[in-house]
Amino acid sequence: MNNQLSGSSSFTDRKLSPKRAVTILAKNNIEVNDDEAAIILDFLYLIARNYNKLKEHKKMDNHKGKSNLLTTQAGTVF
């Protein structure tokens, strides 16, 4: 079972094994094998890493006095 997604190998502290993921998914009527579970976990860890990067980026922007509201180039606030 190799990491299928680029950059996902940087997670050194993975707390959920593919076998445990298979068990959890099976309880929810989702049947996957160990290789498929590893791919799912890689994807979820990738999402989590990117979410944390976005969260840190927003925190740094707010410390610089910038608003966290989304604006277009014309200045329209969503």
Residue-range definition of the domain harbouring residue 45: 12-63
Radius of gyration of the chain (CA): 18
For residue 17, count other CB atoms closer than 10 A to its CB.
13
In a domain, 36, yes or no: yes
The number of distinct structural domains making up the chain is 1
Average pLDDT over residues 4-30: 80
- Sorting pLDDT into bands at 50, 70 and 90, what band is 53? confident
Q: Which residues have a Cβ under 8 Å from the Cβ of 15 and sit 6 or more positions away?
A: none
In a domain, 1, yes or no: no
Cα–Cα distance, 57 to 69 (Å, whole number): 14
- Sorting pLDDT into bands at 50, 70 and 90, what band is 35? very high
In a domain, 73, yes or no: no
In a domain, 59, yes or no: yes
Cα–Cα distance, 6 to 37 (Å, whole number): 16
- For residue 30, the model assigns a pLDDT of 97
Per residue in 36-47, pLDDT (tens digit) is 999 999 999 999
Query: DSSP assignment, residue 68?
Result: -
In a domain, 35, yes or no: yes
In a domain, 56, yes or no: yes
In a domain, 74, yes or no: no
Work out the percent of the chain whose per-residue pLDDT is above 70: 56
